[in-house]
Amino acid sequence: MPRKSASNAQPLTDKRVRSLIQSAAIGDYLDGATTGLYLRVGKRGASWSLLYRVTGHGGDSAAGHRAKGAMTRMHLGDYPNVGLAAAREKAFATLRVAEDGEDPRQAASPVKTARGKTLTWLVDEYLEKYAAKSLVNSKTGSWVLKRHWTPVFGARAFSSIKRSELNERLKEIAASENHGPGAAMDARRWIMSVYGWAIREEIAAHNPAVGLIGKEGLRQNPGDLRPRERVLTIEEARAVYQATFKMPSPWGELARVLLLSLARLGEFSQAQRSWFDRAGRNLEVPGMGHKNKHPKTVPMTDLTFEILDQRPAGKEGPYLFSTTNGEKAIYSFADNYANKLRELSAAELGRTVPHFTPHDFRRSGSTHLTGLGVNEEVVETLLGHKIKGVRGIYMKHKFLEERRAALRLWEKTIIGPAIKPAQPTKAAKTK
């Protein structure tokens, strides 16, 4: 855009500014009352910018004076959010900084403001200003970050933490008996999100979470962190059901509900008492508590209803499944309790049980229900999946009672007769 000469520039007035903008007189207009301050009028509006040079950035002159650097443009704000008087005030303050030898852009940068701040501070800023407002699973992120990262690095300046240190921490989590590779991948995802947000907001100047160790480096066994295809047999599912009664509370009840309902972990682990519809015998999961952000009605059988109805009321908060008297929800099925469930299930069967996770209950139940003749659309809606294609667009039936009937069939199938542990075979007598 053409720039008006400084030699004949007149001081701008509020009336002149409005006139230039209303007439869409595209161009740069120098304010004769302020060195370097321009009103920039474009097709879509107007803004203020300042041209300045920083003392000392041009080196020293032959006479030993500090020479000014190259001309630099800085955006001061958009009109009318920033009026003429405010633009002049900003311009004067910016020119004083440049005259003192500091680049105003760097002086105003959030990176400088955040210099020396700790990782705990950064995590809190991320959770409050971004995650809580934008992410459905922000509470899970808070739990992961405060479980795996702030206890170790929280007191350190976040800018001092190195990629190698983050990688070592991830390896520790993956090798831990109480966590494992899955927990390490969750920790990796959330710390990457924190630093990525800090870069976007110009709070951090560099990102140590770029290029972190991935699945291959975090596996402890060849089968770790691979796509799940595990389907429990009916015999194994029955063993798991019996094993849940030997688990400590609330882990046993939570595992039993997940097995009987085929629901996602978060639908029950984060369930509040207000979600519990006693009259309809359903769990009403709000949109923010569901994976696809849509409210979901989870039908319950009499047995599942009884388990929830008997959960003690926490005195500290609303959550049905909690280790803190209802104050905080359970955000993941802890690895040590998942290991315990597998051990108890193997003891019920009297043999080794191939590795499984609570999420495998969903795949197992849907597979067996389909084999028992349950309509595939009923199974899909039972799992909380969207029906795809034209059917999904026009078919809005929720199959609530059909889903409840399918769960009764699944419940009847896995409760079944008691399992007798396999007996060791006796060696044949030799004649």
The predicted structure's pLDDT at residue 144: 92
Helix count and strand count (H, E) for the chain: 20, 9
Same domain, 405 and 335: yes
Tokens of 43: 């097709």
Q: What is the CATH number of the domain that holds 284?
A: 1.10.443.10
CA atoms 407, 408, 412, 415: torsion sign: positive
Same domain, 376 and 241: yes
Same domain, 242 and 384: yes
Q: Is residue 42 part of a domain?
A: yes
- Residue after which a domain boundary falls, among 54, 83, 108: 108
Percent of all residues in the chain with a pLDDT value above 90, rounded to a whole number: 48
| 330 in Cβ contact with 206 (< 8 Å) | no
Rounded distance between C-alpha atoms, residue 147 and residue 353, angstroms: 30
The predicted structure's pLDDT at residue 3: 46
Each residue's pLDDT tens digit, 157-204: 998 999 999 999 999 999 988 788 888 999 999 999 999 999 988 888
Rounded distance between C-alpha atoms, residue 148 and residue 140, angstroms: 12
Strand partners, 55: 68
Same domain, 280 and 354: yes
Same domain, 99 and 189: no
Same domain, 332 and 357: yes
DSSP for residue 423:
P
Q: Is residue 192 part of a domain?
A: yes
Rounded distance between C-alpha atoms, residue 40 and residue 4, angstroms: 11
The set of long-range contacts for 403-406, using a CB threshold of 8 Å and a minimum separation of 24, is 403/299, 403/378, 404/299, 404/300, 404/301, 406/369, 406/374, 406/378, 406/379, 406/382
Q: Is residue 397 part of a domain?
A: yes
Angle at 193 between CA 151 and CA 203, to 5 degrees: 85
The predicted structure's pLDDT at residue 370: 94
Each residue's pLDDT tens digit, 14-41: 999 999 988 888 999 999 999 999 999 9
Same domain, 310 and 352: yes
Residues in contact with 49: Cβ distance below 8 Å, sequence separation at least 6, in sequence order: 28, 37, 38, 40, 73, 74, 75, 76
Phi, psi of 283 (to 5 degrees): -110, 120
Phi, psi of 168 (to 5 degrees): -65, -40
Closest by CA to 146, choosing from 208, 178, 194, is: 194
The predicted structure's pLDDT at residue 300: 93
Q: Is residue 211 part of a domain?
A: yes
Same domain, 24 and 125: no
Regions of the chain where pLDDT drops below 50 = 1-7, 290, 393-395, 418-422, 424-431
- Measure CA of the first residue to CA of the last residue in the chain; give whole Å: 108
386: amino acid identity, one letter: K
Same domain, 238 and 380: yes
Q: Is residue 355 part of a domain?
A: yes
Rounded distance between C-alpha atoms, residue 244 and residue 234, angstroms: 16
DSSP per residue over 151-220, as a string?
Answer: HHHTTSBGGG--HHHHHHHHHHHHH-TTS-HHHHHHHHHHHHHHHHHHHHTTS-S--TTTT---HHHH-S
Q: Is residue 114 part of a domain?
A: no
Place of tokens 């688990």: 247
Rounded distance between C-alpha atoms, residue 252 and residue 354, angstroms: 20
Rounded distance between C-alpha atoms, residue 298 and residue 262, angstroms: 10
Same domain, 280 and 387: yes
Same domain, 239 and 124: no
Rounded distance between C-alpha atoms, residue 393 and residue 5, angstroms: 62
Same domain, 66 and 205: no
What Cα–Cα distance (Å) separates residue 242 from each residue in 247, 341, 344, 398? 10, 10, 9, 31
Rounded distance between C-alpha atoms, residue 32 and residue 95, angstroms: 15
Domain count, the chain: 3
- Residue after which a domain boundary falls, among 168, 193, 218: 218
Rounded distance between C-alpha atoms, residue 179 and residue 251, angstroms: 16
Q: Is residue 1 part of a domain?
A: no
Closest by CA to 268, choosing from 127, 384, 152, is: 384
CB-count exposure of residue 289 (10 Å: 0-12, 13-18, 19+): buried
Question: Which range marks the domain in which residue 59 is found?
Answer: 14-108
Phi, psi of 305 (to 5 degrees): -60, -45
Q: Is residue 225 part of a domain?
A: no
Residues shown for the chain: 431
Q: What is the CATH number of the domain that holds 140?
A: 1.10.150.130
